[in-house]
Amino acid sequence: MPEPPVRPEPPAPALVDVHDVSRTYDADRAVLSELTLQVGKGDAVAVLGPSGSGKSSLLNLIAGLDRPNTGTVAVDGLRVDAMSETASARYRRSRIGMVHQFFHLLDDLTVRDNVLLPARLAGAPRAEAAARAAELLRYLGVARRASDHPGTLSGGERQRVAVARALMNRPPLLLADEPTGALDSASGADVRALLRELNADGQTIVLVTHDLALAEACATRTVELVDGRIVRDDPAVAR
């Protein structure tokens, strides 16, 4: 009797599902126009494009910091575009880690306390949070600076601390907005290597950048925006 045909497994749902999204800030120009983008778990997607192309607007929609005029945004099965402000804040604490160009560390807190802040806001147990912070600082190579303040750190060290803070609550998605934009070439190379290592360890990343070297080093896929539309969506050649 012949064996039944083997049916392929259905594809895993996307971690990020942006569908037919448009965002207009005034009547004259759409910043994003009918944009559709999916990001799978474990992907590292670099979003490229000139200034004003909609890169940061896309990141803000995924983070729940803004709402589309039309279309839907879902992350990890949650409809981000339909959330209340309170739900959006909870979503960012638990599902999203964010890394910015200018770090946004609090100068009056130590490195350790900056990293612990998201866990404290989320109400995590103190001992568990302290162990997680120590683990991240070791992993990211800044454990020896735990008691120092951000103003005494190099740019590359501050970005590593910012990444540790972003990963504190184990978010499924890391968003990075020009993470090497404020760094010198050596520190930028250091952060590129770090993001590549994080992705190799399974972290899903969406980053926006003008830095082609960053995209080539880190991304499993590059997406290019022009005037709020995707004009190119390619897998990385080699990493």
What does the domain layout of the chain look like in residue ranges?
Answer: 16-109+173-235
CA distance 95 to 167: 10
Select the CATH number that applies to the domain covering 16-109+173-235 from these four: 3.40.50.10190, 3.30.70.360, 3.40.50.300, 3.20.20.150. 3.40.50.300
What residue type is 186 in one-letter code? A
- The pLDDT score that the predictor gives to residue 167 is 96
- The pLDDT score that the predictor gives to residue 3 is 62
DSSP string, 196-234: HHHHHTT-EEEEE-S-HHHHHHH-SEEEEEETTEEEEEE
Q: Please report, in tens digits, the pLDDT of each residue of the chain (239 residues total).
A: 556 555 555 456 799 999 999 999 876 778 999 999 999 999 999 999 998 899 999 999 999 999 999 999 999 999 999 999 999 999 999 999 999 988 999 999 999 999 999 999 999 999 999 999 999 999 999 999 999 999 999 999 999 999 999 999 999 999 999 998 888 888 888 888 999 999 999 999 999 998 888 898 889 999 999 999 999 998 864 44
Which tokens in the block code for residue 35?
């944009």
- The pLDDT score that the predictor gives to residue 212 is 84
pLDDT in tens, 110-162: 999 999 999 999 999 999 999 999 999 999 999 999 999 999 999 999 999 99
* Structural contact between residues 174 and 205, judged by C-beta atoms closer than 8 angstroms: yes
Tell me the sheet residues that pair with 16.
39, 75
92: left (phi over 0), alpha (psi -120 to 50) or beta: alpha
- The pLDDT score that the predictor gives to residue 2 is 58
- The pLDDT score that the predictor gives to residue 4 is 57
CA dihedral of residues 172, 186, 158, 111 (deg, nearest 10)? 100
* Structural contact between residues 89 and 83, judged by C-beta atoms closer than 8 angstroms: no
